C-alpha cells in the first residue's frame, strides 16, 4: 500500500482531499504545518503585541486533529516558524519597503509547503505528497484546476518540476460546490467551515495595524498624477496597491479615484480619476526571477497578472539575468510590481516571473 502524507490545514479542502485519498486505498498520514507564532506578534523591535487573539491557527490545528480522528488517520505537527519568517515574511516586508505589492503565498509554496514539508513527509516514509490545492498535474506538468473560480495554479507557478514530482492534488478535478457536497455527505467537521481569506499571517486583523508593528508608518502626499496637484495625505506607501479604489485618503471628491503609482524616494502616492484612466493601463512589463515548470520556453502564450485576473495574450522576449519582457496584445489594467506574471498554454501552467517594471509605448511608466 502506497503511503501519502497530506498537508492538513484545518479547512474543508484538505479534509476532503484526505478522505478521497483514503477512499482510493492509500495509507494516509496528515501533517499540520505551524508557520506563524499565533500567541505572540513581535514588532521589529522584538516587543510582543498580544492583541491578536483573532488568529485562527490554533483552531485550524484543532479542526485538522478532529478531521483526522473522524477519518481514522494519524496527524503529525511540525513547526516552520523560523523558516517561514526567514523565507516568506522577511521577503514580504522587504518588498513593501520597495513600494511593491508582494505575494507571500508564492514564496510559502516554494520554500515551505513544497520544500520543507516534502522533506518532513519523506521522513515519515511518504511515497507521495498531497495538498488541498485546486490544481492538477500530468506527469511533472502543472495544470489549472477544473474550477475556474478556485484554480490555484497561480500560487504554484514558482515551483520546479522536481518539487511537483510525486505530488497529488485530489480535489483539482472538482469544483468547490462538489467538495462541499462530499464533506456534507460524510458529515465531516469542516463541512461548513468558512474559507480563509486574505494573507494567512494577518488573518482577520486590520492590515494597517498589523503592518505598523513591523514597518514604521511614513505619511506623505497624495498627488493627482495628471495635474501634479497635492490632493491628500497617505498613511504610508506600504498600505496601498496599484488599482486600489477604497480607503485611499481623499476626502471631498466624489469622482472615482484609483491608486496608479508610487514614488518611494519622494514618498508620494499617485492617484488617477475614472475607471478608464490611461494611467491604469500598460502594454508590457519586465519580469524577474523567471521560473519554468514546463520543459518548453514559449515566445507566445497567455498570462495572468494577478490571481483571478483575466488571461492576456502575450509575447515574451527573454533577457539576461533571468529576466524577460512580456508584451500584451491588448492593454492590461493595474499590472502591479511585486505580483506574479503567471504564464499559461491552454490548461498548462508554464511558470512565472515577478513583475519588476511596467511599460507603455516602449517607455517605463514614470509614476511606477
Give me the catalytic one of 55, 68, 200, 341: 200
Q: Is 68 a catalytic residue?
A: no
Cα–Cα separations (whole angstroms), residue 60 to 12, 64, 65, 77 = 11, 6, 9, 12
Report the candidate in 109, 103, 150, 151 with the shortest Cα–Cα distance to residue 340.
103
| Helix/strand/coil for 259 | strand
Residues 6+ apart with CB under 8 A from 300: 313, 314, 315, 316
CB 340 within 8 A of CB 157: yes
CB 179 within 8 A of CB 12: yes
Rounded CA gap, 67 and 61, in Å? 10
H helices of 228-359, where?
none
Parallel, antiparallel, or unpaired for β 3-7 and 27-34? parallel
Q: Is 108 a catalytic residue?
A: yes
The secondary structure element, H or E, covering residue 203 is: none
| Helix/strand/coil for 277 | coil
Listed in order, strand segments (DSSP E) in 10-70 are: 27-34
- What's phi and psi for 138, nearest 5 deg? -135, 100
CB 254 within 8 A of CB 264: no
Give me the catalytic one of 68, 108, 301, 341: 108
CB 293 within 8 A of CB 350: yes
CB 288 within 8 A of CB 322: yes
Parallel, antiparallel, or unpaired for β 281-292 and 268-273? unpaired
Residue by residue, DSSP assigns 99-116 as: T----HHHHHIIIIIIII
Active-site residue set? 108, 200
Amino acid at each position: 500500500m502506497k503511503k501519502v502524507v497530506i498537508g492538513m490545514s484545518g479547512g474543508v479542502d484538505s479534509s476532503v482531499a484526505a478522505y478521497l485519498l483514503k477512499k482510493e486505498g492509500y495509507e494516509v498520514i496528515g501533517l499540520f504545518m505551524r508557520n506563524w507564532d499565533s500567541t505572540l506578534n513581535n514588532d521589529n523591535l522584538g516587543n510582543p503585541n498580544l492583541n491578536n487573539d483573532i488568529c485562527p491557527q490554533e483552531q485550524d490545528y484543532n479542526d485538522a486533529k478532529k478531521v483526522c480522528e473522524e477519518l481514522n488517520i494519524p496527524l503529525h505537527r511540525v513547526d516552520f516558524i523560523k523558516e517561514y519568517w526567514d523565507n516568506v515574511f522577511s521577503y514580504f516586508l522587504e518588498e513593501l519597503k520597495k513600494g511593491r505589492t508582494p505575494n507571500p503565498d508564492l514564496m510559502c509554496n516554494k520554500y515551505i509547503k513544497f520544500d520543507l514539508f516534502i522533506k518532513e513527509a519523506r521522513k515519515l516514509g511518504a511515497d507521495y505528497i498531497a495538498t488541498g490545492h485546486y490544481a492538477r498535474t500530468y506527469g511533472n506538468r502543472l495544470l489549472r484546476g477544473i474550477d475556474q473560480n478556485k484554480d490555484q495554479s497561480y500560487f504554484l507557478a514558482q515551483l520546479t518540476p522536481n518539487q511537483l514530482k510525486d505530488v497529488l492534488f485530489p480535489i483539482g478535478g472538482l469544483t468547490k460546490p462538489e467538495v462541499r457536497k462530499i464533506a456534507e455527505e460524510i458529515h465531516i467537521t469542516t463541512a461548513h467551515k468558512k474559507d480563509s481569506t486574505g494573507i494567512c499571517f494577518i488573518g482577520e486583523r486590520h492590515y494597517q495595524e498589523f503592518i505598523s508593528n513591523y514597518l514604521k508608518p511614513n505619511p506623505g502626499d497624495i498627488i493627482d498624477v495628471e495635474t501634479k496637484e497635492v490632493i491628500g495625505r497617505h498613511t504610508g506607501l506600504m498600505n496601498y496597491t496599484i488599482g486600489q479604489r477604497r480607503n485611499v485618503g481623499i476626502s471631498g471628491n466624489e469622482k472615482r479615484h484609483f491608486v496608479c503609482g508610487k514614488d518611494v524616494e519622494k514618498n508620494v502616492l499617485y492617484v488617477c480619476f475614472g475607471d478608464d484612466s490611461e494611467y491604469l493601463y500598460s502594454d508590457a512589463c519586465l519580469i524577474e526571477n523567471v521560473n519554468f515548470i514546463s520543459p518548453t520556453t514559449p515566445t507566445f502564450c497567455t498570462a495572468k497578472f494577478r490571481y483571478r485576473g483575466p488571461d492576456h495574450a502575450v509575447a515574451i522576449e527573454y533577457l539576461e539575468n533571468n529576466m524577460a519582457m512580456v508584451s500584451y496584445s491588448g492593454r492590461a489594467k493595474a499590472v502591479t510590481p511585486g505580483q506574479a506574471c503567471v504564464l499559461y498554454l491552454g490548461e498548462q501552467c508554464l511558470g512565472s516571473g515577478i513583475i519588476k517594471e511596467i511599460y507603455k509605448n516602449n517607455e517605463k511608466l514614470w509614476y511606477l
